[in-house]
Amino acid sequence: MTDISAWMPIYWGDYLRDTAHLSAAEHGAYLLLIAHYWVTQSPLPNDDEKLRRIAKMEKSEWKKSKETISKFFQISSDFWKHKRVEKQRVISLENKSKNKERAKAAAAKRWSSSNAPSNAPSNAPSNAPSNAPSNAPHMPRADDYGSYRYKEGVSSDDELNDCDEISF
DSSP assignment string, 69-115: HHTTSEE-SSEEE-HHHHHHHHHHHHHHHHHHHHHHHHHHHHHH-SS
Is the confidence at residue 66, as pLDDT, over 90? yes
Which pLDDT band holds residue 140 (cuts at 50, 70, 90)? low
pLDDT number for residue 137: 59
By CB atoms closer than 10 A (0-12, 13-18, 19+), residue 15 is middle
C-alpha to C-alpha distances, 50 to 47, 80, 125, nearest whole angstrom: 5, 12, 62
pLDDT per position as a tens digit, 2-39: 576 678 888 999 999 999 999 999 999 999 999 999 99
Is the confidence at residue 142, as pLDDT, over 70? no
Mean pLDDT of all residues in 155-166:
48
Say if residues 34 and 79 touch (Cβ distance below 8 Å).
Answer: no
pLDDT per position as a tens digit, 113-137: 655 555 656 666 666 666 656 665 5
Collapse the DSSP code of 160 into the 3-class scheme (helix H, G, I; strand E, B; otherwise coil) and give the result. helix
C-alpha to C-alpha distances, 35 to 3, 30, 53, 76, nearest whole angstrom: 15, 8, 13, 20
Of 140, 39, 144, residue with least CA distance to 85: 39
Which pLDDT band holds residue 152 (cuts at 50, 70, 90)? very low
Give the chain's domains with CATH numbers.
4-86 (1.10.10)
Question: According to DSSP H, which parts of the chain are helical?
Answer: 12-19, 24-40, 48-54, 59-70, 83-112, 157-160
